[in-house]
Chains A and B, each alone.
Chain A
């Protein structure tokens, strides 16, 4: 079963605009991570936010976490054509002693030049 669900499933924007993707999850977590996948490639880790953090930045990325709503958002500012990719959230539930990550279905982002 999917722990994380991303919204929207697909997003198309113009270069220079901001892109916001949302992730909702079902159970209490230790951390939430965001990964990116370029077409035909493996996933690449972007950022990790701990359950006791509310916001985290990394370059043009801003991640927020609201544990009361069991949701997270990923904001990419000043998007570039190279940001075109699928973005996945991944969670590790507190009950999970095996260290397994559970991935959402992803948001497909298209940035048009």
Chain B
């Protein structure tokens, strides 16, 4: 099993460009998440999907949109990239977000630079 995969691994954008980060999991998990990680800030939740067909905002959703394409895939879109969105983006999945003992499995990350 590949676990959680993310593409691309690295990306450089110019201000105003758009792009979509892809995430897929093969663990038959119900819940998926997008985080960003900035130096000294830990991980901050952007959006999550507790189950197929639902998405909800996290702590820092502005400037992003998400699509839960199916149970396996959860994409993150930047419509008009800004330098403040330079970060490392992590996708994660878990069996069931509403279970208090749920633990998350992370992908390897996408390092995004916006010039």
Residues of chain A whose beta carbon lies under 8 Å from any beta carbon of chain B: 1-2, 30-31, 33, 35, 40-45, 48, 50, 88, 92, 97-106
Contacts and interface: CB of A to CB of B under 8 A. Distances in A.
Tell which of A33, A42, A45, A102 has the most Cβ of chain B within 10 Å: A42
A104 B44 CA distance: 9
B100 A92 contact: yes
Contacts of B45: 100-102
Interface of B (DSSP majority class): loop
Contacts of A45: 103-105
Contacts of A48: 101, 103
Contact of B106 (A2, A30, A42, A105): A42
Chain B, interface residues (CB within 8 Å), range: 20 to 34
A5 B45 CA distance: 16
A33 B98 contact: no
Given A30-B100, A103-B44, 14 more contacts: A40-B109, A41-B109, A42-B90, A42-B92, A43-B104, A44-B106, A45-B105, A88-B42, A99-B31, A99-B97, A100-B48, A100-B97, A102-B45, A105-B41
A2 B37 CA distance: 13
Contacts of B97: 98-100
Contact of A42 (B41, B103, B109): B109
Given A43-B90, A98-B48, A100-B58, A106 B98 contact: no
Interface in B54-97: 56, 58-59, 90, 92, 94, 96-97
B21 interface: no
Contacts of B109: 40-42
Contacts of B96: 99
A48 B102 CA distance: 9
Tell which of A31, A33, A103 has the most Cβ of chain B within 10 Å: A103
Nearest to B98: A99
A45 B109 CA distance: 16
